Amino acid sequence: MVTWRLLQAFGLPFTLLAVSAVLDFGYHDAVLLEHFLKRMHVMHPTITHLYSIGRSTGDVELWVLVIGKNPWNHTIGIPEVKYVANIHGNEAVGREVVLHFIEYLLEGYGQNEELTQLIDSMRLHLLPSMNPDGFSKAYSPDCNGVNGRNNQNGKDLNRNFPDPFAPWDGFPEAETKAVMRWIKSEWFVLSVSLHGGALVASYPYDNRSPGGMQDFNYVWGQCMEVTLEVSCCKYPEGDKLKDFWDENRPALQAFLHKAHLGVKGLVLDRDGGAVVGANVLVSDRNNLLPFNTTEHGEYFRLLLPGQYNFTIMAPGFKPLTQTILLSEPRNFSATRQDFILEYNGKEKGEARCASWCERNG
């Protein structure tokens, strides 16, 4: 129930909730963006969770709204997905598209069968603006300029992440550090990063532009991130935003289905305990860092339909190799495949100790 006390807890005046719930097609500064996210949470408290991953260099909150059946915590078998926009402050279309996507999803929940099943089948985190300071310096219209592209310190945030192929100065900005912590804490499976200035989609690896967030997601976060350039003009007039929303909404919705490609499951010992940090390897798909199981013994591997050879390895356990035939996703879920590992001639306690020592040095 939406109560006055709940509104006060979010610092949200009642008059703000009383106005039209329809988000206008215009640009929303940091204050309006925050009010909108808080209003959406207040209006949909059972399927949303609002949190901050940190503050920008200019001390602006980096708000994330989660949408899901259980938005507060991870549920085993439910993939974590994220949409991030406005990494470059002057690339403003993605910022507004994400806000409208939030409204669209929440209004459709319980009314539209596909949207309801999508929301129930994942935990979607939406960060509308990673660079609010840059956005505050940018202006419209500006299709090709660079004013506001960087953060308050003049740093390009999409060239500021550790890079597996290039030297790194080791000095991440506040926004970069916040996103790095976020990526390492949530075990994301799939991600979209929205940019502007072209109509392009790119995927890892992205070394022609060292220090990108996309490769950091893939190498260190076990997350497939796709970068989408959604508008030829970086910061068009506000009256053009509805057209960009209409053009991009179907793709943003369809992309959510890709979180259910491939296979998911648990790696367990013969007593049903989670094997933490086990390598989940797929033949002919070598990664710079292996995909590992989480603290729940859980794994996700995004794969197209086909036949794959899996090898599961963990200290203290015998390696297990198994062939799996993957089909198209059904019922808004990847194929479920659990693996049971046998102890490598050791008792349960010794195997767990070996696994812990391997993970913690």
Catalytic choice (34, 80, 175, 229): 229
Q: Which whole number is the average pLDDT over 283-292?
A: 88
Q: Which residues constitute the domain of residue 238?
A: 20-260
- 290 plus 241 within the same structural domain: no
Q: Which of 239, 260, 281 is the last residue of a domain?
A: 260
- 225 plus 340 within the same structural domain: no
CATH code, 300: 2.60.40.1120
Query: What percent of the chain has pLDDT above 70?
Result: 89
Please say if 229 is a catalytic residue. Answer: yes
Note the pLDDT of residue 14.
Answer: 43
| Predicted confidence (pLDDT) per residue in 306-327, tens digit | 999 999 999 999 999 999 999 9
For residue 101, pLDDT over 90 is answered with yes
- 107 plus 235 within the same structural domain: yes
Q: What is the pTM of this model?
A: 0.90
| Predicted confidence (pLDDT) per residue in 20-44, tens digit | 457 999 999 999 999 999 999 999 9
Note the pLDDT of residue 18.
Answer: 40
Judge whether 77 lies within some domain. Answer: yes
Q: With helix as H, strand as E and coil as C, how does the chain read?
A: CCCHHHHHHCCCCHHHHHCCCCCCCCCCCHHHHHHHHHHHHHHCCCCEEEEEEEECCCCCEEEEEEEECCCCCCCCCCCEEEEEECCCCCCCHHHHHHHHHHHHHHHHCCCCHHHHHHHHCCEEEEECCCCHHHHHHCCCCECCCCCCCCCCCCCCHHHCCCCCCCCCCCCCCHHHHHHHHHHHHHCEEEEEEEECCEEEEECCCCCCCCCCHHHHHHHHHCCEEEEEEEECCCECCHHHHHHHHHHHHHHHHHHHHHHHCCEEEEEEECCCCECCCCEEEECCCCCCCCCECCCCCEEEECCCCEEEEEEEECCCECCEEEEEEECCCCCCCCEECCEEECECCCCHHHHHHHHHHHHHC
Note the pLDDT of residue 309.
Answer: 97
Q: Which whole number is the average pLDDT over 228-257?
A: 96
Q: Which of 213, 238, 260 is the last residue of a domain?
A: 260
CATH code, 62: 3.40.630.10
- 156 plus 299 within the same structural domain: no
For residue 7, pLDDT over 70 is answered with no
Judge whether 14 lies within some domain. Answer: no
Q: Which whole number is the average pLDDT over 76-100?
A: 97
Note the pLDDT of residue 284.
Answer: 87
Q: What total number of domains does the chain contain?
A: 2
As a whole number, the mean pLDDT across the chain is 91
Note the pLDDT of residue 208.
Answer: 66
Report the range of poorest mean pLDDT among 16-20, 36-40, 124-128, 247-251: 16-20
Q: Which whole number is the average pLDDT over 68-73?
A: 97
For residue 65, pLDDT over 80 is answered with yes
pLDDT level of residue 289 (50, 70, 90 thresholds):
confident
- 230 plus 303 within the same structural domain: no
